[in-house]
Amino acid sequence: MSMQEYIEEAEQSLLHTYNRYQIILEKGKGVYLYDTDGIKYLDFVSGIAVFALGYGNREYNDALKAQIDKVIHTSNYYYNMPAIRAAKKLREASGLDRVFFTNSGAEAIEGAVKAARKYAYKKDGATDHEIIAMEHSFHGRTFGALSVTGNPKYREPFEPMIGNIRFAQMNNLESVEKLINDKTCAIILETVQGEGGLVPATEEFLKGVKALCEERDILLILDEIQCGMGRTGYMFAWQKYGVKPDIMTTAKALGCGVPVGAFLMTEKVAQNSLEAGDHGTTYGGNPLACAAVEKVLDLFEENHIIDNVREVAPYLEQRLEALKDRYDCITQRRGTGLMQGLVFNRPVRDVIERAIENGLLLINAGPDIIRFVPPLVISKENIDEMLEILESCIEPQETE
């Protein structure tokens, strides 16, 4: 069968909840992916900020193969060694005290929201506590995660959501202050908004929110699912500002392709929130997923992944800024580290489709923003290659 015939077969079987690009990716090596026809693509998507280590990392693959030969799953009725080791290393990397492994980022958000509400419930026994989230945020597709996602188009078809969620404006501390009341139990935000347009929290805003939380015993939940795991040049983006959350969520590059997430919390929150029976998961924290987490954290250190991000990210920013200055249709560069975006004055899907035709994988963040979230092992030469292809995909008449 041809690639197109396989795609047609997929459309007969898979639920149509994605407008997929018309290629079938089959294998990868380094920062490149290959489709079933053998065509090579430079990957600046990395599975939506997932495959930080690039493709075909032998040590990572061998660690997973070794664990498969031991045991893949046992359930959380028992301990397993990979989970114990992975939790210890994740605690050390984050500076937080307790870990709960999930299967995804959305599940990590669900657990974080439950922990925050249980923390407030244990203080006063009330069940009407409120959570403040940010406009234009994205936290996932499950009901709890969707409820704190600040984009009405994602929520409205599925309402009613879980109640008592209020939305403030990112980087507008006054808008947060106006929503705080005696019922507020948590404030949740992405340290860098991803789907919402590659918008980092400012240091002033993040420190201001943290101060408000400390004054009122409100929990600060930072969503580091996309912006964490080295993508900004720090293991977690909040570490740049020293604004430690009470609860943090992580996923995506945590497992570098194996579905795994986690929410972490301080000891204070752990001792005063979720108890035995309050939360659970069949697959979360299984030996295979945690073997991936453990190896990823080891390889980040051994291969100096964050050092590479700090070296190449400024070059990416510089090249994107120069591209913006050459084209009227590009109005802004946003982002930090290897989490960048170019804002266009029109929809960008046609540019992305042309890029695919020319061997470059890109994704959007909203209809008018091209998002750049490559593997964290990219080089300056890879950036040059990406920009050469991208520029050829912007129509010549769109130049100044």
Q: Say yes or no to pLDDT of 130 above 60.
A: yes
Are the C-beta atoms of 197 and 341 separated by less than 8 Å? yes
Alpha-carbon torsion, ordered 366, 370, 371, 372, to 10 deg: 170
The beta strand positions in 44-158, using DSSP E, are: 98-102, 130-134
Question: Can you tell me the mean pLDDT for 190-209?
Answer: 96
The enclosing H or E element of 166 equals strand 165-168
Residues assigned a catalytic role: 138, 223, 252
The pair of structure tokens assigned to 17 is 């909840």
DSSP symbols for 252-270 = GGGTTTS--EEEEE-HHHH
Pick the CATH number of 59-302 from 3.10.129.10, 3.30.950.10, 1.10.357.10, 3.40.640.10: 3.40.640.10
pLDDT score recorded for residue 400: 44
As a CATH number, domain 3-53+304-398 is 3.90.1150.10
Q: Say yes or no to pLDDT of 116 above 60.
A: yes
pLDDT score recorded for residue 1: 84
pLDDT score recorded for residue 78: 95
Say which amino acid occupies 353. Answer: E
With tokens 């929990």, the residue in question is 219
Q: Say yes or no to pLDDT of 15 above 60.
A: yes
**Model-level pTM?**
0.96
- The residue extents of the domains of the chain are 3-53+304-398, 59-302
Assign 397 a pLDDT band (cuts: 50, 70, 90). Answer: very low
The two domains 3-53+304-398 and 59-302 share their CATH topology (first three levels equal)? no
